[in-house]
Amino acid sequence: MEIYLVFDRWLHVMAGITWIGLLYYFNFVQVPGLGKAKADGTAAGITKHIAPRALLWFRWAALVTWLTGFSYLHGLGIAADAFLLKGNASIIGMGAWLGTIMLFNVWVLIWPNQKKVLGMVEASDEEKARSARVALLASRTNTMLSIPMAFFMVAGPHGAVLFS
C-alpha cells in the first residue's frame, strides 16, 4: 500500500502544479495579453489555438488533482475526517474543501462559459459577454482560493490541527 500512496501523492502534486500553473497563466498572462492582442488584431491565434488547448489541460489537471487527492486521503484512512474537518485531518480537510470548490468552479462555471466565449458553443454576443464575465470571476476566485488551499495542503501533513 505504501508504494501506491507515494505514486498517488506524486501524481497529485504534478497534476496540482499543472492545474495551478495554468490558473496563474490564465489570470496573469493570457487575460492581460489577450486584451492587447484584441487591440492589435492578433487575438485569433490565441483564442483558436492556445486557449482551447490550455483549457483542456487545465480542466483535466483539476480533475486528476482532486481525484488523486481524495484517493490519497482515502488510502491514509482519513478522507471522511478530512471532509468533516475532524481532528488531525482538519487542516488538510480545509485544503480539500477549497480544492473541491475550485474544481466545481472549473467544471461548472469556467469551462462551460469559456466554450461560449471561444465560439466552441453557439452563443450570441450578449451571451458571450456574460459568459466571459462569469468565467473571469470564477477564475479570479480560484486564484484567490489557491493561496489558502496550498497553505492547508502543505500544513496538514506537517501536523497542524484546526479542531481537536
pTM attached to this predicted model: 0.92
- DSSP secondary structure, 126-141, as one string: HHHHHHHHHHHHHHHH
Give pLDDT tens digits for 101-141: 999 999 999 999 999 999 999 999 999 999 999 999 999 99
Q: Which residue has the cell 450570441?
A: 124
Cα–Cα distance measured from residue 82 to residue 111, given in angstroms and rounded to the nearest whole number:
28
* Residue 148 DSSP SS3: helix
At 163, the pLDDT band (50, 70, 90 cuts) reads low
Give the start-to-end residue ranges of the domains of the chain: 2-158
Count of other CB atoms within 10 angstroms of residue 16:
22
Mean pLDDT of the chain: 94
